[in-house]
Structure formats: structure tokens, C-alpha cells
């Protein structure tokens, strides 16, 4: 894989990137050009799940395709307002439309306006989704997270760390862990244990105020970029304890001051 990508995004089993067209690599490293989406510089955002790929154009137009038996088919929700953000999830999808509404629905059956859950007050907000969690930042920078209860078509609001109730600028929802960056540019990560928030390990350099720039939370590995564009990755070792990724220290040093975007999958 080589070339200058305009945007990248990764799920557990698929990596997609925007070049002059959208290309996706699956778990077995086979590559496929995806048709029916926006291309090159017209892509404002790219969002990928194991079975859904969506793009938003610079004109706030949403296009989606779904993967079925190795082929991509058009799956853009009909009648959906223009959107500014999209989060394609494993079983569900969420968008923020140009009116500032956060819209959430389950992917099966297909999008139906009658089954969409709508939350107001998210103009210029952000949204992230995983198999288990939906998190969104509203127009006053307040963070809200919900547990996705597949099979019930319901969302269950969960608590976030008290000091993150407001002034949040970035969020990334993973399988079991959620990470957020405060307006002071400090990174905080947590998971839920017995309905309580339990803070998780974060590299000291990213926990320091005025240093964290972006974060991507995966299945059991997580990566963050600081204001100098240095990449940090950490996760769970074989003993099931959080640790810095010692194996990749040398690798990370090669990207010090050069990383613009990061996206984490299952490994």
C-alpha cells in the first residue's frame, strides 16, 4: 500500500483509504476499489465498519455502501438530511445532520426514519461508535455516552468521568474502552466495571495538559497523537494488564513528528 491518502479509517477487519478513489483492504490483505462513494479531495470524512463504508463530501452529502458476500452494494439511507459527521458501527450507525441533530439507528433492518433515535443540540459536534458504545460531543462540548443494547433497539446512557462532563473536544469509542480529550488537551481513558467508570492507563505525555491532539481506540490497542505529531500506542499485554507497547517503541520513533492521522483496528 503506497501513495498519498486524503483520509483513512479502520474497523476490526477492514482498512479503507481515500486516494483518487476509495480502496479497502480486508483481514486477508486483499484490496478492492469501492465504487459509489465520494473520491479524492471531495471526501471530508471516511467511516468504516466490518460491513459498511460511508463518506461525507465537502458539500455534506452522505454516501454509504455495505459489504455483502465480498461485494459492495449501495446502502445510503434515503431521505436523510445532509450530514456533517458519520460513525459507521458494527451493528448500528450514527450521524450528525446539518440541523444539529444526532441520529442513531440499527443497521438491520435497513434505515427507517420511524426507527431512528434523535437527540438535539449537536451542531458542530462529534460522534464515535463501536459495537458496544455510542459517544457524542454536543455543541456546548458536553460528552454523553450510551451502551448499545443490540437486539433491544435501545440505548442505555452511561456515566462518564465527572471531570469530563463538559469541555470535551475529541472522543473515541472502542469495544470495551472509551477515550476522550478535554479542552485542556489532556487524554483520559476509561472502561465500565459494575456500572462504574474505571480509569485506564494513558501514556503520561498524552495525559499532560496541552499535549494530546487525537486518539483512536481499538479492540485492545489504542493510539494517540500529540501536538508535535508524535505517535503513542498502548494496550493489553498477554497478562491482561495495560502497558506501553515496548515491542513497537523503535517503530514509533520513526514516526515522531510525522503522524497526521491514526486509526486502530482489532490488533
Per-residue pLDDT of the chain (267 residues; tens, 9 = 90+): 455 777 888 888 788 888 888 888 876 667 888 888 988 788 999 999 888 999 999 999 999 998 766 678 888 888 887 999 999 988 899 999 999 999 999 887 677 888 899 999 999 999 999 989 999 999 999 999 999 987 777 899 999 998 886 789 999 999 889 999 999 999 999 998 877 889 988 888 898 888 999 999 987 788 999 999 999 998 865 444 555 555 444 344 446 777 878 888 765
Angle CA 119–124–126, to nearest 5: 70
Dihedral pair phi/psi, residue 237, rounded to 5°:
-90, -175
Whole-prediction pTM value?
A: 0.88
Q: How far apart are CA 121 and CA 135, in angstroms?
A: 14
Amino acid at each position: 500500500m503506497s501513495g498519498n491518502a486524503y483520509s483513512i479509517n479502520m474497523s476490526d477487519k477492514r482498512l479503507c483509504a481515500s486516494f483518487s478513489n476509495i480502496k479497502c483492504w480486508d483481514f486477508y490483505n486483499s484490496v478492492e476499489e469501492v465504487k459509489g462513494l465520494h473520491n479524492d479531495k471531495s471526501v471530508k470524512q471516511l467511516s468504516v465498519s466490518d460491513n459498511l463504508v460511508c463518506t461525507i463530501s465537502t458539500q455534506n452529502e452522505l454516501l454509504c455502501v455495505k459489504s455483502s458476500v465480498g461485494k459492495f452494494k449501495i446502502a445510503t439511507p434515503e431521505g436523510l438530511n445532509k450530514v456533517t459527521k458519520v460513525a459507521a458501527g458494527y451493528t448500528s450507525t450514527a450521524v450528525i445532520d446539518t440541523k444539529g441533530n444526532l441520529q442513531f439507528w440499527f443497521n438491520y433492518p435497513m434505515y427507517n426514519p420511524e426507527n431512528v433515535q434523535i437527540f438535539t443540540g449537536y451542531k458542530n459536534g462529534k460522534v464515535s461508535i463501536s459495537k458496544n458504545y455510542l459517544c457524542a460531543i454536543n455543541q456546548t462540548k458536553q460528552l454523553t455516552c450510551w451502551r448499545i443494547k443490540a437486539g433491544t433497539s435501545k440505548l442505555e446512557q452511561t456515566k462518564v468521568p465527572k471531570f469530563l462532563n463538559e469541555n470535551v473536544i475529541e472522543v473515541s469509542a472502542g469495544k470495551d474502552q472509551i477515550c476522550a480529550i478535554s479542552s485542556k488537551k489532556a487524554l483520559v481513558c476509561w472502561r465500565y466495571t459494575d456500572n462504574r467508570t474505571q480509569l485506564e492507563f494513558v501514556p503520561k505525555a498524552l495525559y499532560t495538559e496541552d499535549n494530546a491532539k487525537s486518539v483512536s481506540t481499538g479492540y485492545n490497542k489504542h493510539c494517540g497523537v500529540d501536538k508535535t505529531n508524535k505517535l503513542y500506542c498502548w494496550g493489553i499485554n498477554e497478562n491482561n494488564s495495560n502497558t506501553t507497547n515496548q515491542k513497537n517503541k523503535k517503530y514509533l520513533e520513526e514516526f515522531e513528528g510525522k503522524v497526521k492521522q491514526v486509526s486502530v483496528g482489532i490488533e
